[in-house]
Amino acid sequence: MLAKRIIPCLDIKDGRTVKGVNFVDLRDAGDPVELAEIYSREGADELVFLDISATEQKRKTLAELVYRVAEKVNIPFTVGGGIGAVEDVDILLKNGADKVSINSSAVKNPQLINDLAAKFGSQCIVVAIDAKQINGKWIVHLVGGKVPTEIELFAWAKEVEERGAGEILFTSMDHDGTKNGFANEALGHLSDLVNIPIIASGGAGNIQHFVDTFVEGKADAALAASVFHFKEMAIGDVKQALRKENIPVRL
């Protein structure tokens, strides 16, 4: 079995790391370059860097900040926010990103997934899906969770896999920032449905939540933000606990 991954997420707004609850009420969490360096040193398997206001403000991800982060880390580094064209990805990869994450732009133009996978390889393309439950259905939302669509999570996940995505980053908006655990039922269904890795996001509050999302949610990786940013738990402690539960991790 492949090792499960622990991935700190740096949500960036105006050049700073921020964190909220249910995608709102953002508060400052520090300098992204400093945090990235700390997480790389502490044993994170990867980093995700999301410029959360890039799409809403209709500008590109801050390539210079990507470069500064990439200089400080020696682990895979995924960047997202405001990516809408092949040229955007080219710039980010040249500035040190290993993978890119697309979300709103993929929903608006699904062919973009095909084009990016053909140009850069599926292993480089992560499709992020933000969804919340409405009337019993998981509904995909865009623009940092502000705009609901009529698209259903599981159908969209299957389509992005067929179009060439190499990985899915699923964030439950209902669980985001609540620290009540991941959306393991939905994650388990996603994992059964598609054959590409699923990154669980939204809801980490204690070490047991990481155990549960790998066992019950069948996730391939778990992403968290505030519990790491505000030093509520350490990556090494999470991994040691996972190892005790016979969940494979890199120590």
* 96-111 pLDDT per residue, tens: 999 999 999 999 999 9
- Distance of alpha carbon 139 from alpha carbon 5, whole angstroms: 26
Question: How much is the pLDDT for 64?
Answer: 83
The pLDDT-based confidence of 120 (bands split at 50, 70, 90) is very high
In a domain, 148, yes or no: yes
251 located within any domain = no
Q: Mean pLDDT over residues 168-181, rounded?
A: 92
- Residue 207 located in a structural domain: yes
Can you give the pLDDT at residue 82? 81
pLDDT at 144 over 90: no
Instruction: Look up the CATH number of the domain holding residue 27.
Output: 3.20.20.70
Rg (CA), the chain: 16
Burial of 104 (0-12, 13-18, 19+ CB in 10 A): buried
Q: Is residue 59 over pLDDT 50?
A: no
| Per-residue pLDDT band at 35 (split at 50, 70, 90) | confident
**Average pLDDT for residues 168-194, to the nearest whole number?**
95
> Of the given ranges (104-108, 159-163, 191-195, 229-233), which has the lowest mean pLDDT?
229-233
Tokens 């389509």 belong to 159
Residue 141 lies in a domain: yes
Domain that holds residue 103: 5-244
Structurally, the chain folds into a number of domains equal to 1
Report if residue 177 sits inside a domain.
Answer: yes
Residue type at 70 in one-letter notation: A
Residue 21 confidence (pLDDT): 47
Residue 131: inside a domain, yes or no? yes
* Within-domain flag for 220: yes
**Catalytic residue annotation:** 11, 130
Residue 249 lies in a domain: no
Cα separation, 37 vs 165, whole angstroms? 28
